[in-house]
Structure 1
Amino acid sequence: MNPRWQKSSHCSEGASCVHVAATPETIHLTESSDPTESILKATPAAFASLLTTLKKDTPRA
Structure 2
Amino acid sequence: MSMGPRWQKSSYCMNASDCVELARLRPDTIGIRDSKQVQADGPVLAFSTPGFESLITRIKGGDLDHG
TM-score band w.r.t. shorter chain: 0.7 to 0.9
3-state SS of paired residue (1:27): strand
Q: Give the one of 18, 24, 29 matched to 2:27.
A: 24
Q: Structure 2: how far apart are the matches of 1:8 and 1:31?
A: 11
- How far the C-alpha of 1:38 sits from its partner, in A, is 4.4
3-state SS of paired residue (1:21): strand
Give the % identical residues: 36
Q: Structure 2: how far apart are the matches of 1:54 and 1:14?
A: 21
Gaps of 5+ in 1: none
Q: Is 2:61 the partner of 1:56? A: yes
- How far the C-alpha of 1:24 sits from its partner, in A, is 1.1
Q: How many residues align?
A: 59
The question of whether the paired residues in 2 share the 8 Å contact of 1:3 and 1:21 is answered with: yes
Radius of gyration: which is bigger?
2
**1:43 equivalent in structure 2:** 48
3-state SS of paired residue (1:57): coil
Off by >6 Å, runs of 4+ in structure 1: none
| TM-superposition CA deviations, 1:4-46 (whole Å, max 9, x none) | 0000001032330100001312100001111243420000000
TM-score of the superposed pair, with normalisation by structure 1:
0.80
